[in-house]
Chains A and B, each alone.
Chain A
């Protein structure tokens, strides 16, 4: 008998507890001969073939997946552009993996789900503090879908006269592509406005924005790691034309850079950058906005209320915005979200505390500046390309073709971005900062 088989020889799923005798007794109680008799599937569409998936033991699968993933090259990544690898403390893994959190679901019965609801309320509160806006939801899928949701919100609240959504010339391809799809069902058009040496070209934006514009999107830091210098002006331009100002950022940057509310942001979106490290793009979409748009917010909201003992208790609230009640008139189609990642991000932020967050942000500035200086010292490399302040990452110019530099660096064990013919981008966090010397040495060898 293999270890996959149950003691009674019933070789099916290991995750159903039934012994053969119990199954028989249950069938008897129902009054049918077999499990097959319970299915009401017309015979000619019944599947009686083999799927061809061989069951394996737990141990075999662990080996199999390990072996598969070991085909990934063991590279030191200096990659960012919207997905950041900050060190996640062990406490986050262990606490978030508690099965009461991990194996629960949307809090339809708040009386038995106070723990997760409170954690999400705390997550919302942290975003409220960091953005200065009054409302944050429990999560979107990622920054890209949050940007899409921001645009549909803008259309709902502002599309009396037009349908233009303005985005920066430098924007992550994935964010732009997802935004385009979120607007596929509308008449809105997405247009790029110019940037000047890595940040928003104020005059160019002023020329682009008009009364037909429903939303202006900007990022701080930008996808190239530059820190925006004219946020207040962008907010004013948007406001003057009755467009929403949507700002993309992340909690680490928000702890140090200008507070979104103070520069006129109406919506803040972004990726958490906390809670999960590198996860092949899996992340957490932030979404915060002003109270006046509360009824137009996509996704779940946790509110504080009272129970019958007059104690403060938490519950999902304002659910009439949502798909399960409002159906095709809902503010969004989102149901399952990234709640567990939000829990992790809140734990991570609490573990860091305000000092830790601000320190991490300061280090993100100094490390970017340090790696730019070091790369600039390499023959054939100039950095930073943009004469700006930077956060986590910088763009460098290479005399050699950027893709060749990237490829050669990969052979040396380092991953960087090649973003244009002669432009590379390098991102530094606490997880790779101790390898800057090695990276620079490798760049010297290949650039």
Chain B
């Protein structure tokens, strides 16, 4: 596969030569004063200076920028732990239905459609996770973690337990540590055992009266299933702690294993990963949180419940505040449009599609791993694996860009030397995986110079990130000041 990303360059009037597509402010900028405002002068500013493109110019600007951007529809995007699967187009259309465009302060009676969709989605997610109740309010995975930890904290407080530690395996996602800290907990970092999993002895030693919860990803970030999960759950529960499931890797288990059945008490779902809502260049996602019955009274407010339908065809729905609710984690009710897309995707798959999704995701990871000429120290992995680049993983990744694929997550988890954390997802065909494998191997075979000067076929060439951080220029004002 050969790849040349679209690359728009333009000469600048100043010395220095060329830029890629100029900034909007460099194309057309206007300073406008706030004359004749229907307000006293002392309540208004003097004016603003902003880009002023006509619509055709706007369209061309953003179209060119889009051409200098790589998405799932451009090619393979095996970014580990991010589940960059195909985002079905029809879900965009259902989210764009005019009837979905409502204000969050609508009365319950007037918004039965939204409440029904929310209720049904929460019910589906609860079944998929083996949980009893689900809140849809958290607007992202990390927000879900924060919510789940606040729920655990409220539960412990309600039960008179003053527990101040959260145990997190060293190889966990960075958000786990940050979310626990934001909720006011001390983080106890648990080293991985030699097999890449949680070591039950180390866990037993770390667990005690101070343990509020263990946060765990399963399969973990190496793609390994925590086979001792039941014993792990017992250790944590026996100490009085709760077990938190980070849903980032749920795609591996859809329809085959459920966190609730493994002993988890609280979990979040990353719908932008597992349930195919588009990642949007960084968001929005949504991070619904599921809990077992005992924790349901602590969920954020409001929750939606179905009202006894009195035998009529259309059930009705109401909003209520759970008895010991932690309050709110989003100013309104979360990322509604993302939730509509989630509902549509789950409905499209149903039981057979969900189960086939995990099958194909795991099949693809294993097939790709067999093809590439890299050491993969930890097995048996599921939907993702961590290969060792055996040279600078960042350089290898840059070279892979030239071969028309987005590279894996690099240099993480640190337990693997020069890690390439690879998650192809179910969306790649056998042919696409063959091409992806070829990109891996060609990059590995290239000489040092080729790697260090890569990429050479992308819109921009190798960017000096260290220099950008040393001399932060964060707006076009900062560029003008130079």
Contacts and interface: CB of A to CB of B under 8 A. Distances in A.
A31 B414 CA distance: 29
Contacts of A1: none
B462 A358 contact: no
Contacts of A336: 140-142, 270, 272, 279, 282-285, 287
B13 interface: no
Contacts of A392: none
Contact of A108 (B79, B430, B455): B79
Contact of B453 (A116, A144, A308, A355): A308
A35 B50 contact: no
Interface in B109-145: 109-114, 116-117, 124, 127-128, 130, 139-143, 145
A441 B198 CA distance: 68
Interface in B332-362: 332-338, 340, 343-344, 346-357, 359-360, 362
Contacts of B86: 15
A105 B363 contact: no
B348 to A, nearest CB: 6
A14 B348 contact: yes
Nearest 6 Cβ contacts at the A-B interface: A281-B332, A12-B356, A185-B184, A55-B350, A340-B280, A305-B468
B115 to A, nearest CB: 9
Given A310-B16, A337-B282, 11 more contacts: A13-B426, A51-B128, A61-B344, A68-B116, A100-B70, A106-B279, A128-B475, A142-B332, A301-B472, A312-B20, A339-B281
Contacts of B469: 303, 317-320
14 contacts: A16-B427, A62-B90, A62-B93, A77-B102, A104-B71, A104-B280, A104-B281, A115-B66, A141-B335, A278-B102, A281-B333, A310-B16, A314-B463, A327-B177
Contacts of A334: 140, 142-143
Interface string A8-29: 0001111111100011011101
A180 interface: yes
B2 interface: no
A53 B127 CA distance: 9
A26 B367 contact: yes
B261 A47 contact: yes
Nearest to A38: B362
B382 A354 contact: no
B334 to A, nearest CB: 7
Contact of B460 (A56, A106, A111): A111
A134 to B, nearest CB: 7
A104 B279 contact: yes
Contacts of A136: 474-475
A324 interface: yes
B61, B96, B314, B335 — most chain A CB neighbours (10 Å)? B335
B117 A69 contact: yes
A23 B359 CA distance: 10
A355 B30 contact: yes
Contact of B71 (A47, A103, A301): A103
Contacts of A71: 112-113, 116, 314
B380 A38 contact: yes
Interface of B (DSSP majority class): mixed
B397 interface: yes
A174 B328 contact: yes
A174 B332 CA distance: 6
Contact of B103 (A79, A259, A307): A79
Interface string B173-187: 111011111111101
B227 A13 contact: no
A315 B465 contact: yes
Nearest to B365: A38
B202 interface: no
A130 to B, nearest CB: 7
Contact of A65 (B49, B175, B340, B410): B340
Contact of A282 (B336, B401, B467): B336
Contacts of B21: 118
A83 B333 CA distance: 12
Size category, B interface: 35 or more
A340 B71 CA distance: 13
B281 A51 contact: no
Interface stretch (B34-42, B290-298, B304-312): B34-42
A125 to B, nearest CB: 4
A199 to B, nearest CB: 11
B100 interface: yes
Nearest to B153: A184
A311 B472 contact: no
B69 A13 contact: no
Contacts of B224: 40
Contact of B70 (A91, A113, A138): A113
Contact of A112 (B30, B93, B401, B430): B401
A175 B62 contact: no
Contacts of B239: none
B201 interface: no
B184 A51 contact: no
Contacts of B145: 333
A8 B148 CA distance: 43
A33 interface: no
Contacts of A366: 38
B32 A339 contact: no
Interface in A75-89: 75, 77, 79, 81-83, 85, 89
A83 B105 contact: yes
A41 B257 contact: yes
B160 interface: no
B70 A104 contact: yes
Interface string B423-466: 00011111010000000000000000000010100111111110
A11 B360 CA distance: 13
A66 interface: yes
B475 A134 contact: yes
B225 A40 contact: yes
Contacts of B287: 336
Given A69-B113, A118-B21, A258-B43, A308 B461 contact: yes
A259 B253 CA distance: 51
Contacts of A304: 468, 473-474, 478-479
A332 B143 CA distance: 11
A316 B140 CA distance: 20
B99 interface: yes
A350 B69 contact: no
B288 interface: no
A109 B283 contact: no
Interface in B144-171: 145-146, 150, 153
B156 to A, nearest CB: 13
A362 B38 CA distance: 7
Nearest to A366: B38
A306 B255 CA distance: 47
A189 interface: no
B62 A16 contact: no
Nearest to A88: B101
Interface stretch (A160-168, A203-211, A341-349, A371-379): A341-349
Interface string B314-336: 10000000000011111111111
A305 B463 contact: yes
B229 interface: yes
Contacts of A327: 174, 177-178, 187
B461 A111 contact: yes
Given A12-B353, A336-B285, A82 B113 contact: no
Nearest to B404: A112
Interface string B27-68: 000111010111110111101111111010011011111111
Interface string B206-227: 0000000000000000001101
A105 B406 CA distance: 11
B200 interface: no
Contact of B67 (A27, A38, A100): A100
Nearest to B86: A15
Contacts of A75: 106, 110
B181 A328 contact: yes
B328 A46 contact: no
